[in-house]
A = this chain, B = another copy of it.
Amino acid sequence: MQHDPTRVKPPSHLPHPRQVVADLEASRIREVANEGLGREGVLKFWFGESDEVTPAFIREAAIASLQAGETFYAHNLGLPELRDALAAYTDGLHPGRGVAHWQERLAVTSGGVNGLMLASQAIVEAGDEVVVVTPAWPNLVAQPLIMGARVKSVPLKVLASGPRAGAWALDMDALLAAITPATRMLIVNAPNNPTGWTLTAAEQRSILAHCRRTGTWILADEVYERLYFAGDTPNGAASSFLDVAEPEDRVIVAHSFSKSFLMTGWRLGWLVLPAALTAAVGKLIEYNTSCAPVFVQRAATQALLRGAEVTPALVNHLKACRDTLVPLLRGLPGVTLAEPLGGMYAFFRLEGQADCLDTAKRLVREAGLGLAPGSAFSPEAAGWLRWCFASRDRERLTQGVDRLSQWLLAQPR
């Protein structure tokens, strides 16, 4: 009777995923956002996206593609036209190597997050050690964990004094001490979500030199590269590991169309790889998502070709948003923050609110203000809140600060 299913009961205990997957934290930002479900008039600054719709000319390119019937499978590594445009774009930001050089180093991915996951799949074996600079977007820590790695966190430190007091800063000695020959990969996101921390070219050179010694891969999440306000670099963007590394260095840079082209919902990004790795990542794309939709890639191609109509104005606007929000926040009692040099977040400490997840939920309920709790990004950021200032209407930022101000006044002293 071996084949009689009635003889064997289904499992009496619940089916369970791998322990490491069960242990992954659910998003604390979504936990706060759920607090706002069904609540009218909440000012939402919790997610990392602008409230501005993708420019019409980009959407129209996708519409034209759909009307033309481009609904079939595409190349694993991306449409040739998009790869051409990406190579030209990359050459424009990092000149001197030629378009052909970048052509063979590109892989189009189903979002920046997907590119980062593919990089972990390409590099990280179970049991490997991975170092992550934190606070960071939670996905950067989760991905190597899913691949079975051990993750070692190197926290940024808050400057207690000086002109940048309240800013999160890298302890270079601590980072380099943490990266040993046992470290398979370093994951670093700068300009940083959530802290706004950035890396200088000199710091990138130091990290690279050390990682060359230890044989460690660098996975650089540079999706906020263009959202940089300091004006101290030749191309206007934040310094990139691509500017300091040789083509054969063990460096992978992850990019996204989301932030610089207002395309969060399109799920398209790209990786810049050592050429020797491109074919392997092409195989991983086949086995993960196979390709990105052609009509999405057509839209992205237009975004790149006409990027001058989008990104510079966006960066100017975000700078104005920052310059609206940060001084107002600084004027509130108990608030500590430094002006972020890049990205689209104001990250601030609120005195006496150590349980920032609870604070963020209360702000939704009691003040109609939606912020992300710092504890979503690392334990060290408990007591902090992230405010995405990518708001089409800067007046919304002012209104939000008013709500926070009134809520603070109502708190017991």
Using CB atoms and an 8 Å cutoff, list the residues of chain A in contact with chain B.
2-5, 7-11, 14-18, 20-22, 24-27, 47, 49, 53-54, 59, 62-63, 66-67, 69-74, 110-111, 113-114, 117, 121-127, 139, 142-143, 146-148, 172, 176, 205-206, 208-210, 212-213, 215, 217, 244-246, 248-250, 262-267, 274, 276-277, 279-284, 286-296
Task: Say how far A5's CB is from chain B's closest CB, in angstroms.
Answer: 4
Cβ contact within 8 Å between A284 and B146? yes
Q: Which residue of B lies closest to A27 (CB)?
A: B286
Whole-angstrom CA separation of A329 from B61 in the bound complex: 43
Cβ contact within 8 Å between B26 and A279? yes
Q: Which residue of B lies closest to A64 (CB)?
A: B63
Task: Say how far A269's CB is from chain B's closest CB, in angstroms.
Answer: 10
Q: Which residue of B lies closest to A287 (CB)?
A: B142
Whole-angstrom CA separation of A125 from B27 in the bound complex: 23
Q: Which residue of B lies closest to A245 (CB)?
A: B10
Whole-angstrom CA separation of A185 from B135 in the bound complex: 36
Whole-angstrom CA separation of A20 from B124 in the bound complex: 11
Q: Which of B7, B17, B264, B283 contacts A26 (CB 8 A)?
A: B283
Q: Which residues of B contact A294 (CB under 8 A)?
A: 265
Cβ contact within 8 Å between A16 and B264? no
List 20 additional contacts besides A15-B217, A24-B280, A24-B283; criterion CB under 8 Å.
A5-B206, A5-B244, A10-B248, A11-B250, A15-B274, A15-B276, A16-B276, A17-B281, A20-B125, A21-B280, A24-B284, A26-B282, A54-B71, A71-B264, A71-B265, A114-B288, A121-B146, A125-B148, A126-B148, A265-B295
Task: Say how far A30's CB is from chain B's closest CB, in angstroms.
Answer: 8
Q: Which residues of B contact A21 (CB under 8 A)?
A: 121-122, 280, 283-284
Whole-angstrom CA separation of A59 from B72 in the bound complex: 13
Task: Say how far A176's CB is from chain B's closest CB, in angstroms.
Answer: 7
Most buried by B among A26, A110, A143: A110
Cβ contact within 8 Å between A267 and B291? yes
Whole-angstrom CA separation of A267 from B73 in the bound complex: 9
Q: Which of B123, B127, B176, B286 contacts A139 (CB 8 A)?
A: B286
Q: Which residue of B lies closest to A143 (CB)?
A: B287
Task: Say how far A327's CB is from chain B's closest CB, in angstroms.
Answer: 28
Whole-angstrom CA separation of A235 from B79 in the bound complex: 40
Q: Which of B2, B16, B205 contacts A210 (CB 8 A)?
A: B2
Whole-angstrom CA separation of A282 from B3 in the bound complex: 34
Whole-angstrom CA separation of A20 from B63 in the bound complex: 40
Most buried by B among A53, A147, A282, A293: A293
Q: Which residues of B contact A125 (CB under 8 A)?
A: 18, 20, 126, 148
Q: Which residues of B contact A246 (CB under 8 A)?
A: 10
Cβ contact within 8 Å between A213 and B17? no
Cβ contact within 8 Å between A292 and B277? no
Whole-angstrom CA separation of A260 from B322 in the bound complex: 48
Cβ contact within 8 Å between B139 and A287? yes
Cβ contact within 8 Å between B15 and A248? yes
Cβ contact within 8 Å between B10 and A176? no
Q: Which residues of B contact A47 (CB under 8 A)?
A: 73
Cβ contact within 8 Å between B249 and A287? no
